[in-house]
Amino acid sequence: MQTDLSPRREIGVFDSGVGGFTVLRELRAMLPTARLRYLADTAYAPYGNRSPEEIQARSIAITEHLVECGAELIVVACNTATAHAIDALRARWPALPFVGTEPGIKPAVAATRNGRIGLLATPATAASARLRALIERHATRQEVVVQGCAGVVDRIEAGDLDSPGLRDLVNLYCEPLRRAGVDTALLGCTHYPLIEPLWQAALGPNVELLRIETAVARRAVGLWTPFLGEEPALDIETSGDPAILGTWIATVLGWQGLDVQAWQPASRNGQHALTV
């Protein structure tokens, strides 16, 4: 990493949409002087419904842009992008540190009392080989009930955090976990903590919910070296509608006055235009 005070020295964070804001919120608290850049690929959200090839292509294009803007650390604040793209990102940028986001199977194994664990994830994460490998490596003696939750991310992206329709979806997806008698459940998507009370209500008070965003932020902090005199900054970009995302940020997170910028790849060969 460079050792000067270049204004381009940043931490880049990306997600398919708004879920990664749960990680960004932790990063802002832990690194109050850092320059942070967040890119929400809302035009392609949710990644959970996309093919692995499409997820990988989007992740590479976004990372190229973040590097061009000065990112010296990339946080993949998306379980689905981590599952399908982080190996390709590390191969393409071997000198660049990446922090991924994965379901905390190992902490869940440590937390469970009866050996039955539930995992709520996007369909793409639920079907990924990377998740299967995590379970095989860390949960050899436990039962892990993996539930893909189609449609939940779409509602969260739309700002629907407490409607009867969303509650019905949450109840539907929690039913297999209840039948299995899990005592520990993982929120396997960074969007899901935004509706944590709904998951808890559907699973019941005796099920412990585990989140991952704090651990992801701590890992990033451990790889980052703050410099004396750095000026904090937060840049938000989206491949979707900046006005819609700005309203979501103000309403859900309470972050006022942020200037959300539009972004899109300049061409199909992976090169990007700068933010407009």
For residue 99, the SS3 value is strand
Pull the structure tokens for residue 23: 């990680």
What is the C-alpha separation between 74 and 108, in angstroms, rounded?
26
Q: Is 189 a catalytic residue?
A: yes
- 3-state secondary structure string across 5-55: CCCCCEEEEEECCCCCHHHHHHHHHHCCCCEEEEEECHHHCCHHHCCHHHH
What is the C-alpha separation between 151 and 15, in angstroms, rounded?
17
Rounded to 5 degrees, φ, ψ at 8 are -90, 0
**Residue 7 is which amino acid?**
P
Given the residues 69, 78, 149, 174, the one annotated as active site: 78
Residues facing 99 on adjacent strands: 75
Rounded to 5 degrees, φ, ψ at 152 are -70, -45
Q: Is 69 a catalytic residue?
A: no
Given the residues 69, 149, 174, 189, the one annotated as active site: 189
Tokens 């190992």 label which residue? Answer: 106
CA angle, corner 208, sides to 24 and 76, nearest 5? 25
What is the C-alpha separation between 243 and 220, in angstroms, rounded?
29
Tokens 């998951």 label which residue? Answer: 199
- In 3D space, the residue among 169, 161, 163 whose CA is nearest the CA of residue 122 turns out to be 169
Query: Binding site membership for substrate: which residues?
Result: 15-16, 47-48, 79-80, 190-191
Rg of the Cα atoms in the chain: 18
Catalytic residues: 78, 189
